[in-house]
């Protein structure tokens, strides 16, 4: 693993087992949306993505960009506005509808035949498609391959026991020459049960190391007032660039 030089000294917590068996159900995620407990949503978009956008896009046009566990991430609009084609997957229909409404985008919806009860929402412009289904059902649908993956609030939100399966799906969706930006968080997992879950460096290496080059682009102190209620006093966000080996 290749590390960016940084002034932040990021602790790696040895007690990685503590969150191992934690499970959040899809119903619990949907309830968070209904109750407005979506502190993860960033209205202004993600600052590190903004900063590293050129590294991510590498000057290429008309890319297919995948947003796993997309919520109503405003960054989806950034890519669509630049002419890229965005595909997301999100279990909350409410979250998806809020995305289109808040971004002033008209859309249509249709059932996903392969997954009973699931739907896909498409912007009228045609370049944003959001699949409302469980990410783990996605292999049943042909959504094609992607040039870019923006993984923020996704690997860290997946139940720890499902990480390997999640990573296998992500890597199966990549196209030759892909770039995968992964944002994870480092905090003391004995103090907060998650999500977001703590994903240590060793886990990233374990999950992606055999197929990807892993380069840490940045480490930033992201501690905010709201984190005090989690019982933690330290949280650092790390941004990794994964590329094909």
Q: Which residues bind ligand SAM (CB under 6 A)?
A: 26, 29, 40-41, 69-71, 73, 89-92, 95, 134-136, 152-154, 157
The smaller minimum CB distance to ligand SAM, of residues 150 and 208, is found at 150
User: In a 10 Å sphere around its CB, with 0-12 CB exposed, 13-18 middle and 19+ buried, how is residue 146 labelled?
Assistant: buried
Write the CA distances from 31 to 36, 95, 162, integer angstroms. Answer: 8, 11, 21
The smaller minimum CB distance to ligand SAM, of residues 90 and 147, is found at 90
Six token digits for residue 164: 């390997």
Task: Return the half-sphere exposure (C-beta side, CA atoms, 13 A cut-off) of residue 221.
Answer: 10
Closest approach of ligand SAM to the CB of residue 71, in Å: 3
The smaller minimum CB distance to ligand SAM, of residues 93 and 244, is found at 93
Angle at the Cα of 41 from the Cα atoms of 220 and 223, rounded to 5 degrees = 30
The smaller minimum CB distance to ligand SAM, of residues 196 and 204, is found at 196
CA distance 79 to 94: 22
Contact (Cβ atoms closer than 8 angstroms) between residue 115 and residue 140: yes
The smaller minimum CB distance to ligand SAM, of residues 69 and 241, is found at 69
The smaller minimum CB distance to ligand SAM, of residues 61 and 142, is found at 142
Closest approach of ligand SAM to the CB of residue 7, in Å: 26
State the angle between helix axes of 201-208 and 163-172 in degrees (0 to 180), rounded to the nearest 10.
Answer: 50
Q: Is the peptide bond before 175 cis (omega within 30 degrees of 0)?
A: no
Closest approach of ligand SAM to the CB of residue 5, in Å: 27
Closest approach of ligand SAM to the CB of residue 223, in Å: 18
In the block, residue with structure tokens 């899809």: 26
Closest approach of ligand SAM to the CB of residue 40, in Å: 4
Closest approach of ligand SAM to the CB of residue 235, in Å: 14
């Amino acid at each position: 693993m290749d590390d960016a030089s940084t002034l932040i000294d990021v602790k790696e917590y040895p007690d990685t087992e503590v969150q191992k068996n934690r499970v959040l159900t899809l119903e619990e995620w949907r309830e968070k949306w209904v109750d407005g407990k979506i502190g993860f949503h960033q209205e202004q978009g993600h600052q590190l993505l903004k900063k590293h956008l050129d590294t991510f896009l590498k000057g290429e046009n008309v890319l297919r960009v995948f947003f796993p566990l997309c919520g109503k991430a405003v960054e989806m609009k950034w890519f669509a506005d630049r002419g890229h084609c965005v595909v997301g997957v999100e279990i909350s229909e409410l979250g998806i509808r809020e995305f289109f409404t808040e971004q002033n985008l008209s859309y249509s919806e249709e059932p996903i035949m392969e997954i009973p009860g699931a739907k896909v929402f498409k912007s009228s412009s045609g370049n944003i498609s959001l699949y409302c289904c469980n990410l783990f059902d996605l292999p049943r649908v042909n959504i094609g391959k992607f040039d870019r993956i923006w993984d923020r609030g996704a690997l860290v939100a997946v139940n720890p026991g499902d990480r390997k399966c999640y990573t296998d799906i992500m890597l199966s969706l990549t196209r030759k020459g892909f770039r995968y930006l992964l944002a994870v968080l480092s905090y003391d997992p004995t103090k907060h049960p998650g999500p977001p879950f703590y994903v240590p460096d060793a886990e990233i290496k374990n999950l992606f190391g055999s197929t990807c080059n892993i380069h840490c682009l940045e480490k930033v102190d992201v501690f905010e007032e709201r984190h005090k209620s989690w019982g933690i006093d330290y949280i650092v966000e790390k941004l990794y660039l994964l590329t094909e080996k």
